[in-house]
Structure 1
Amino acid sequence: MTGKEYVLNVLEQVEKRNENEKEFLDAVKEVATSLIPVFEKHPEYMEEGLLERIVEPERQIMFRVPWVDDKGRVQVNRGYRIQFNSAIGPYKGGLRFHPTVNASIVKFLGFEQIFKNSLTGLPIGGGKGGSDFDPKGKSDREVMRFCQSFMAELCKHIGLDTDVPAGDIGVGAREIGYMYGYYKKIRNANDQGVLTGKGLAYGGSLTRTEATGYGLVYFTEEMMRANNLSLDGKRVVISGSGNVAIYATQKATQLGAKVVALSDSNGYIYDENGINLEVVKEIKEVKRGRIKEYLDYVPSAKYFEGCRGIWTIKCDIALPCATQGEIDENSAKILVENGTKVVAEGANMPSTLEAIEVFQSNGVLFGPAKAANAGGVACSALEMSQNSMRMSWSFEEVDNKLKNIMVNIYKNSAAAAKEYGQEGNILMGANIAGFKKVADAMMAQGIV
């Protein structure tokens, strides 16, 4: 059997078992098809059924989360945790609280996490979780009661050497704090390393807040440098206005670029003079408001309803940092027509498969999410290390480690692409480099 026949057979099985899970199927197809040359070169991977095993989660948990709102009414949400692959270390991946969370999204995120975590070079496996709970518009007390109920069940499935969750969309320092406090109470254990993204007062790491956004820009900078380009003086459009977008804006600005647009789920702002980040932080991190409030502080800026229109703005670099599937084929074509030279993903799989094809066929430098946004989980693993040693590193120490990790992710992805005859295809290189480390570990550990 050829490598292509093997991959197509596995994809057919996956589609039959998961026919209504589009996000997961897209993620598996994108990874599996890029691994065909690996299976051609290493038939032993096929003989051991590695792809069949790696696309099937080791464990998938779904549970009820009842809680009481401020009016005394009982509310019920669904909670999820998928423990996808532990070949190279404990499951590691964020918790997402958002109304769109379902089994397919959690599976696709968990599957992507396997390869992202592998690329960091750190000993962490792939997992993901969350709930269809929406923290927006909820009081602190409501969020606390939900988090405590969520942790009452989740605590049975996580541990320092088993599964270490972190934050994601809708889960920031507030939510992590509530969950860790309740975990500590019901477990009677000060296991600081069981959750990452914690506050600095109780085991958190400096640079963790900035890590995903900073890491995205470090990766983008290295990818551009390898292609004789520079961030200096470039126009950048960044979607989103949460943690990743804010700190990608900060680092890109520090390195000489000009970020001219940000968005949220309602619409986007355009500021020709460059985004005033302190205003955005006030709106989003302090007031928890909407991005259109930016115009109250900067009247010369413009606001547009609908977030997809942000990709019509002319830019040299596009950094999608909002959510999955936000750049479709049409948006990708507009970016290309407007002269965009670089696209690097800060969100998880924000470009559709069709959009990626448009970028690659038009010579756009493309940094896939599993490589470009790995800074968050890399810093989470560094937080775990600090917790294990009962010590804290300085901001500069963590930031330097983060930058080295992101530079190495690019270099390893580029080297893997070249080795398998796909020089310059960083998506394929990232998939191959991430897969091979996990595959070799699985081979060594037998069929389990």
Structure 2
Amino acid sequence: MNTAIILLAAGQGTRMQSDLPKVLHEIGGAPLIAHALRSADTLAPSRTVVVTGHGGDEVAKVLADYAPEAETVEQVDQLGTAHAVDQARGALADFEGDAFVLYGDTPFVRGETLEAMQAERAKGAAVVILGFEAADPGGYGRLKTGPDGLEAIVEAKDALPEELAITLCNSGVVCADRTTLFELVAAVGNDNAKGEYYLTDIVAIARSRGLKCAVVTCAEEETLGVNSRTDLAAGEAAFQVRMREEALATGVTLTAPETVFFAFDTVVGRDVSIGPNVVFGPGVTIETGATIRAFCHLEGCHVSEGATVGPFARLRPGAEVGGNAHVGNFVEVKNAVLGEGAKVNHLTYIGDADIGERTNIGAGTITCNYDGVFKHRTTIGAEAFIGSNSALVAPVTIADGGYVASGSVVTTDVGPGDLAIGRARQVNKPGLGARLVARLKSLKEKR
């Protein structure tokens, strides 16, 4: 079925106390608007129109990353939700099919829920509203139903006592044929205390024209709106719960699920084991059978099948960890490729480097990649050995089977199978150590 999305993202969000547009505040490392757009992916929409307002240029820049196909239209004056929807009229003038109204600050509506709304449309409902059973209905609009489906949306301030007792509430999400939607929106008036055009009025207008309206329900947590920093924190918590549940359901082991934090786009394969206190930033893929041990931070990286990372490791953007490779405790990897079976087990920084298969990097090794102006790359071949406490000053290449002695500073290339020793020769002075200690103790006693 041909589908269009109208995403309302014009609100300033004054309760956020921020200069940043509300829909650009992040949950799981991605802006709210990205989550809202992902909700509609299941529908495979052919058109997406985002209605912007406050900070519209900033919103458009973010959309270029998450939904480059989306069109933007501006709501210059904030005159209500029906007025906001009407701004998409011109952009969708040539569109035929169903249109959904979604909200950039309501990020957790599930794709299956939207599919259920579209199925109800296919059964003959002209307008479908998404509702939820509220634990505390409070100021939500009530959905008044009867034998013929949805009869009205009653705002809490206008509700009679018996209507306030209704717990089925309005989420604001709407599905209707594009032509019908804009005909109903055109009929909405602003004869109310705020002088605004409310999208909720389309139900009464549709009913007055003999059109059937229906309700599809979802869990209340899907309709969570983010309007304040408190809501943002609650949204982050809800997102993490959902991601953890999905990970466990797809064959991922989480030793302490409540301590693992995922990002919007984290991809984790089956039979991956994740220890406590692991944080995933954006852009991480973990393949089948890998192990991420406790207290690791990963961002913008790829961990291949059977690899082990951590504990206390940091993978930064551009890190590629090969199959069955090891990245151990207090190791940082940035913009570097570790070949299959490579080992970097202790207290090491690997930046801007290529490490060959089955190469061993000793404890305390540093790839010196920055000269204060430019970054340079270190290349290490297969089955090489880098001794502990070595500094590899890039650009430098260590060929297959190359061997670097512990404590070396390597500034020139090392050939295949060669041994590089880049340190001062050790000199022992017989008895000098004992004499030196005795002298220092004597000085201390005189103080």
Give the TM-score taking structure 2 as reference length: 0.28
Structure 1 or 2: larger strand share? 2
Tell which has more relative contact order, 1 or 2 (C-alpha 8 A, sep 6+): 1
Structure with the greater alpha carbon radius of gyration: 2
Structure 1 or 2: larger helix share? 1
Give the TM-score taking structure 1 as reference length: 0.28
